[in-house]
Structure 1
Amino acid sequence: MRFPSLLVLTALLCALPTIVSAQTTTDSLTAVKSRYSLFRPVPRELMRPLSADRPGVTESPFTVDAGHFQFETDLARHISSKPSAAPRQRTIRANAFVLKMGLSNRTDVQLFVDAYEWDRTFATADQPATRSQGFGDVTLRVKHNLLGNDSTEGPLAVGLIGFVRLPTGGQQGAGGTEYGLLLPATYALNDSWNLSAQLPVLLNFDRDESQHYLQTAPSVNLDHSFAPWLTGFVEAVAQHDFRTRRWEEAVNVGPIFFVGKNIQLDFGRHFALTRNADREYFVGLVIRR
């Protein structure tokens, strides 16, 4: 899928809540769950199905139920890249994780800790090989569901995520404070098919240039439930750096395994569609309490 089609589909999906929100009323389940908070947890029988912000780039519009916690980790990730006019690079990342805490029926807070990384840049004719390792940065995030947090509200769910990434990672980190705003949306096509999209606006930091720059990375995800314990997904991702006006595109695919109602295992492959996009393998785990 080329980027114009991806952007149009993302924009349409993310615009849907403005059309329907005026007609949406609070249903009885949402009203009941709104009585609970961090210190008065939602009863387990009222909790919504497990929904994680992984394994793909497209994040979930659903929040963690009030008073409950969710742990999500990228157990291991292998990244290979070959930027234009630059040496080939390889990165191995271990245990990048996020800890989420439900504050209310529509809001949770999240602490994201970047993985421990082993980075290697391969030698070229005029440049020696380099190696580095260490922890990455820490990110603070807030997610708020705007629509459809509980299934009785309808097939469309929309969320809003804001974050700030703190430069705690030294050489392995971004080198400066970064900010972002994400708009994820999911539409339940039927009981087994879901179409999701995400439109982010990111203010990243370039360590070499010592300056911030604007980036976006819209994505579209389609997942299908083959059984209560097995879901498969395919995701198209495009990344745009406004400095270079260049698009990088890739596809993520993989299975998701559910072990009961509160544990998820997943793994997958990130296929590069353009030369500068990374090639990745990943495996992850989600646990909810």
Structure 2
Amino acid sequence: MRLLSPTLTLLLAALALPLLAAAQAPTDSLTAVKSRYSLFRPVPRELMRDLAPDRPGVTESPFTVDAGHFQFETALANLISSHPKRQPKQYTFRANAFVLKMGLDNRTDVQLFIDAYEWDRTSATADEPSTRNQGFGDITVRLKRNLLGNDSTESPLAVAAIGFVRLPTGGRQGAGGYEYGLLLPATYTFADNWNINAQLPLSLSFDRDEAQHYIQTTPSLNLDHAFRPWLTGFGELVAQHDFRTSSWQKAINTGAVFSVGKNMQFDIGRQFALSRLADREYFVGFVVRR
């Protein structure tokens, strides 16, 4: 059995410490008050936490949707292309890939991801003709459980665990098989509206061509800053590792988030490929909460 790399071992240790601390974290007064609410007894609006969606970028939020409330997040458009040195060239366009979230209790929400439409094209090579596919994508069901800092005013650290299963509903646009995973996102809030966010995921992905599952991880590190109450900028480093190989594929995401009141925001950004097998991407989306 292959040993984990020193980098991955450090990431595991860094995220394991907050999980251990969460087990001993005291419950503050606001958490105690909000624990009385549930899906059928919504949290009053004056007690709702700030809007903290999982988009944009790869790093998820450790904060859950308040009990009894709903949140809609959508990638209105994603334009993805492979690195110029990668052959054959691949292009993907996704429209309205969205997630609907529902707060179950003060620490838990359930999420339904749907890839509404996807169009793919692979350019021709000397050996293969070009191909095109389009249609409905996969459906993913996720459950998020906050472990620390959901409503705390005493600790700047928040940690969560997210489990998911992806259903192969998308035909050629989907993964081609069931996929499973666990994500551990964490956020640390500094003074002056700075936040550092990290995530360690581990997934059992499916290779359609080889008809087999494999283990994959995509750790990420995100830094964001609120320049104005309505404007936040972010930069994110993402590294993807397939445990069948010894290489890491790296990319940088940058973008801006525009807040419209307390319950809506828009975002726009771009992913820059830092290695040959990483993709380039442009994205735009919005979030609304009720």
Structure 1 position 128, deviation (Å): 1.4
Determine the structure 2 residue equivalent to 1:221.
222
Structure 1 position 90, deviation (Å): 0.5
Determine the structure 1 residue equivalent to 2:265.
264
Which letter maps to 1:168?
Answer: T
> Residue deviations 1:33-65, cap 9 Å, x none?
000000000000000000010101000000000
CA pair 172-23 structure 1, distance change in 2 beyond 3 A: closer
> Residue deviations 1:108-157, cap 9 Å, x none?
00000014111111112222111110111000100000000014141000
Structure 1: where are the runs of 5+ without partners? Answer: none
Report which stretch shifted further, 177-186 or 85-94.
85-94
CA pair 9-58 structure 1, distance change in 2 beyond 3 A: farther
Structural mapping, 1:268-283, within 5 Å: 268-283=269-284
Give yes or no for contact 1:13–1:197 (8 Å, CA) kept in 2.
no
Give yes or no for contact 2:31–2:152 (8 Å, CA) kept in 1.
no
Structure 1 position 8, deviation (Å): 7.2
Determine the structure 2 residue equivalent to 1:37.
38
Q: Does 1:91 align with 2:88?
A: no
- Superposition RMSD on alpha carbons, in Å? 1.8
Task: Give the Cα–Cα distance (whole angstroms) in 2 for the partners of residues 18 and 151 of structure 1.
Answer: 16
Which letter maps to 2:193?
Answer: S
Structural mapping, 1:177-256, within 5 Å: 177-256=178-257
Runs of 4+ in structure 1 off by over 6 angstroms are: none
Report which stretch shifted further, 124-133 or 13-22.
13-22
CA pair 204-84 structure 1, distance change in 2 beyond 3 A: farther
CA pair 60-52 structure 1, distance change in 2 beyond 3 A: same
Task: Give the Cα–Cα distance (whole angstroms) in 2 for the partners of residues 25 and 38 of structure 1.
Answer: 24
- Partner SS state of residue 45, structure 1: helix
Name the TM-score, length of structure 2 as normaliser: 0.94
CA pair 133-243 structure 1, distance change in 2 beyond 3 A: same
Task: Give the Cα–Cα distance (whole angstroms) in 2 for the partners of residues 228 and 196 of structure 1.
Answer: 19
Structural mapping, 1:7-156, within 5 Å: 7=8, 10-11=11-12, 13-18=14-19, 20-21=21-22, 23-82=24-83, 86-156=87-157
> Residue deviations 1:85-123, cap 9 Å, x none?
741010111010000000000000000001411111111
Which letter maps to 1:39?
Answer: F
Task: Give the Cα–Cα distance (whole angstroms) in 2 for the partners of residues 168 and 19 of structure 1.
Answer: 37
CA pair 8-254 structure 1, distance change in 2 beyond 3 A: farther
Identity of aligned residues (%): 73
> Residue deviations 1:185-210, cap 9 Å, x none?
00001240000100000100011111
Which letter maps to 1:213?
Answer: Y
Structure 2: where are the runs of 5+ without partners? Answer: none
Give the aligned length. Answer: 286
Task: Give the Cα–Cα distance (whole angstroms) in 2 for the partners of residues 31 and 235 of structure 1.
Answer: 34
Task: Give the Cα–Cα distance (whole angstroms) in 2 for the partners of residues 253 and 8 of structure 1.
Answer: 27
